[in-house]
């Protein structure tokens, strides 16, 4: 490890927020030398004893995620927590980084020295979304943040991705009536531990309660996981505006995490998540080996096109694609 | 291709059911020489013009899947279809092959020359579940079956797997009241195009209608996919016993498949599925290369254990695991 990386690691470990921001920029980079430094940094900072409560949070645009996180985050730092907020936005490769892009949306929280907010990176910095986020989370933990909230927009595969790197998962919804309720992708219900209906204040309060009851009913129609305690998944109303329900929502998530810790579920989840991460890295690495050579890469693209058009059987095509690698290994 | 494989290919292409059964046994084998023959066979039989309507069907144990498939299958063969039924049972590695194991459950259909029923293989024959099923499906299509039903038990990842190799997906449920409704895994709702409540006959008829209405309500709470026509996902009642609703259920699936075909959705789904299959084969092949050498394999297991225990960072561990392969390629 060179001196720069050494010093960066020490400053991150000391909880320096500017060093943390720089370290995350490093793991977001796809430049080969940055990549190597990032891996060294992560390996150096790996410390199982520094671990946060990892909270996944999803919600459709306009539901008030930022206000919710700000209100919740301010309560948590008041109670002595150090809170990091990361954004996962798979669409940012197109949009150039949308969520949390405007830090002023969490103005008070972002100014608080006990909090750290990291927007989704812009398009040109984007490496693998999962890798980047897992590594940013590891860095936040190494910097002593004991609550890490991973925010994502409810539009696709990102929730599954986030649920595979967090301890508990909450879904934030807006009050809605009848047909408007159709905004939730079915798969998201599968992974939500807690459904929160926001904006339960003023004239929307009654509607929020009805929406909450509807979702509670829908959740009851679906199987409770064996590894979950009584009452999970749950549905609750909250108001980021008045603060109503925030303490209860947090208590539910904390109790669930505690239950999972005491029953050995959390240790199993995290070991499985780490194993999954390792496997993702292995696959990415293997694929990188296969595409590192321009000739091999072209061949792979040709074979895939043949398969997609139905002109070649996938197994035979894969075998053909891997032949050079197999030969190299045999002759090594 | 040797003479045996050549002859087998010709007989499968001619629609010979015994040859088809032998060919499937070949793709189920994990012996290296069988594997090679299987790939040759599949490559030889690949013919995009021979393609079936691929139907995924899931349901919890006891819901009456076999009676449903038998009743539906007999109607389809009467109308001139040739119907193949395949079973996916990831649990059979433990149970030794449970679903469809008892062919007498579909006695009439299995005796019909226009139908082909293949039980889930016993434990010792089990290769990769996905690969085996995709290949068996390709063989059924090559043998001229124009409807392939892939049956799976509703207990885990198998539905996702089946939905990734079929054109339409139906979920069969039993009538139930109140708390009993909790039997469905949430993720399955995500992939169902059609929810069918079976046993809508006799004294269960009213309860089946109520259950159906409940699920229709739950489906409405979730987002309709952009790529689906109006009214999908749908919920209907059926009775395998009386035949009520079977024609309507089939018509719904056929119309959906037709809609997807006309709107280019089916072509995109199938190209994506073939691409996914190719990628699965690539990954399996790459992983096989990595574990072909006992020394490499031990090293991989050690590194994974380190990662799961939190003692090593996944990216650095993966890089270390891949180093021998990278060296071999560089020196080739």
The tens digit of pLDDT for each residue in A276-293 reads 889 888 878 887 887 777
Contact B212, B238 (CB under 8 A): no
Q: How far is B189 from chain A (nearest CA, A)?
A: 7
pTM for the model stands at 0.68
Higher pLDDT, A64 or A104: A64
- Joined together, the tokens standing for residue A132 give 């980047």
Contact B176, B261 (CB under 8 A): no
Is A282 within 8 Å of B293 when comparing Cβ atoms?
no
Contact B278, A303 (CB under 8 A): yes
Residues A6, A34: Cα–Cα separation, whole Å: 14
Residues B155, A51: Cα–Cα separation, whole Å: 33
Higher pLDDT, B54 or A102: B54
The shortest CB-CB distance from B46 to any of A187, A221, A312 is to: A312
Residues A85, A71: Cα–Cα separation, whole Å: 13
* Interface list for A 143-202 with B (CB within 8 A): 179, 181-187, 189-191
Say yes or no: A267 contacts chain B, CB-CB below 8 A: no
Say yes or no: A10 contacts chain B, CB-CB below 8 A: no
B contact test, residue of A318, A326, A327 with most B CBs within 10 A: A318
Tens of pLDDT, residue by residue over A235-250, are 999 999 999 999 999 9
Q: Which residues of A touch B217 (CB under 8 A)?
A: 217-218
Q: What ipTM was reported for this prediction?
A: 0.75
φ and ψ of B29, to 5 deg? -70, 145
Q: Nearest-CA neighbor of A150 among A159, A19, B288, B91?
A: A159
Q: So what's the pLDDT on residue B185?
A: 60
Q: So what's the pLDDT on residue A124?
A: 43
Rounded to the nearest 5 percent, the helix, strand and coil shares of chain A are 60, 10, 30
Q: So what's the pLDDT on residue B43?
A: 87
Residues in chain A, how many? Answer: 332
Is A185 within 8 Å of B282 when comparing Cβ atoms?
no
The region of weakest confidence among A91-100, A195-204, B40-49, B131-140 is: A91-100
Q: So what's the pLDDT on residue B187?
A: 63
Sheet holding B115-118, edge to edge: B115-118, B83-88, B147-153, B53-59, B168-173, B194-197, B234-237
Is B221 within 8 Å of A284 when comparing Cβ atoms?
no
Contact B106, B66 (CB under 8 A): yes
Cβ contacts of residue B129 below 8 Å, gap of 6+?
A: B88, B89, B90, B158, B161
Which whole-number Å values give the CA distances from A238 to A163, A312, B100, B176, in the listed order? 22, 54, 49, 33
Residue segments in chain B with a per-residue pLDDT below the cut of 50: 92-103, 123-127, 178-180, 182
Q: Which residues of B touch A191 (CB under 8 A)?
A: 186
Q: Which residues of B touch A39 (CB under 8 A)?
A: 313, 315-316, 319
Neighbours of A143 (CB within 10 A): 24
Q: Which residues of B touch A226 (CB under 8 A)?
A: none
Question: B62 in the Ramachandran plot: left (φ > 0), alpha (ψ -120 to 50) or beta?
Answer: left
Give residue A194's pLDDT band: very low, low, confident or very high (50, 70, 90).
very high
- What domains can be seen in chain B, in order of their start residue? 1-46 (1.20.5.170), 48-261 (3.40.50.300), 274-331 (no CATH)
Tens of pLDDT, residue by residue over A30-63, are 888 898 899 899 989 988 788 899 999 988 777 8
Q: Judging by beta carbons within 10 Å of its beta carbon (0-12, 13-18, 19+), is residue A202 exposed, middle or buried?
A: exposed
Say yes or no: A298 contacts chain B, CB-CB below 8 A: no
Higher pLDDT, A112 or B328: A112
Q: So what's the pLDDT on residue B202?
A: 92
Q: So what's the pLDDT on residue A177?
A: 57
Give residue A97's pLDDT band: very low, low, confident or very high (50, 70, 90).
very low
Residues A248, A229: Cα–Cα separation, whole Å: 17
> N- to C-terminal Cα distance for chain A?
30
Q: How far is A259 from chain B (nearest CA, A)?
A: 21
Contact B263, A299 (CB under 8 A): no
Contact A85, A20 (CB under 8 A): no
Cβ contacts of residue A102 below 8 Å, gap of 6+?
A: none
Strand partners, B171: B58, B195
Is B274 within 8 Å of A307 when comparing Cβ atoms?
yes
Sheet holding A147-153, edge to edge: A115-118, A83-88, A147-153, A53-59, A168-173, A194-197, A234-237
Q: Nearest-CA neighbor of A158 among A275, A274, A59?
A: A59
Say yes or no: A1 contacts chain B, CB-CB below 8 A: no
Element (H, E) at B305: helix B294-308
Cβ contacts of residue A301 below 8 Å, gap of 6+?
A: none
Average pLDDT of span A189-203: 89
Say yes or no: B267 contacts chain A, CB-CB below 8 A: no
Residue A321 has pLDDT above 80, yes or no: yes
Cβ contacts of residue A94 below 8 Å, gap of 6+?
A: A123
Residues A218, A197: Cα–Cα separation, whole Å: 14
């Amino acid at each position: 490890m060179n001196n720069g990386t050494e010093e960066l690691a020490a400053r991150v470990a000391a909880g320096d927020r500017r060093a943390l921001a720089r370290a995350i920029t490093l793991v977001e980079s796809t430049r080969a030398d940055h990549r190597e430094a990032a891996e060294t940094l992560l390996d150096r900072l790996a410390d199982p004893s520094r671990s946060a409560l990892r909270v996944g949070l999803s919600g459709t645009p306009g539901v008030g995620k930022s206000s919710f996180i700000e209100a919740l985050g301010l309560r948590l730092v008041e109670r002595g927590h150090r809170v990091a907020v990361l954004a996962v936005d798979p669409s940012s490769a197109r949009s150039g980084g949308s969520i949390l892009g405007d830090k002023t949306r969490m103005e008070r929280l972002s100014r608080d020295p006990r909090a750290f907010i990291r927007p989704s990176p812009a398009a040109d910095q984007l490496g693998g979304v999962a890798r980047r986020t897992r590594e940013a989370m590891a860095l936040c933990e190494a910097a002593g943040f004991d609550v890490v909230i991973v925010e994502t927009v409810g539009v696709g595969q990102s929730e599954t991705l986030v649920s595979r790197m967090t301890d508990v998962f909450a879904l934030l919804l807006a009050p809605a009536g009848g047909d408007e309720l159709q905004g939730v992708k079915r798969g998201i219900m599968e992974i939500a531990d807690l459904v929160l209906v926001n904006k339960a204040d003023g004239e929307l309060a009654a509607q929020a309660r009805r929406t909450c009851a509807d979702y509670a009913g829908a959740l009851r129609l679906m199987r409770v996981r064996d590894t979950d305690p009584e009452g999970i998944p749950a549905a609750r109303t909250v108001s980021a505006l008045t603060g109503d329900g925030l303490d209860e929502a947090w208590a539910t998530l904390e109790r669930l995490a505690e239950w999972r810790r005491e029953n050995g579920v959390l240790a199993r989840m995290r070991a499985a998540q780490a194993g999954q991460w390792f496997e993702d890295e292995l696959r990415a690495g293997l694929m990188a080996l296969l595409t590192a050579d321009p000739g091999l890469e072209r061949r792979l693209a040709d074979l895939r096109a043949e398969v997609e058009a139905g002109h070649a059987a996938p197994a035979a095509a894969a075998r053909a694609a891997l032949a050079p690698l197999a030969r190299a290994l045999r002759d090594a």
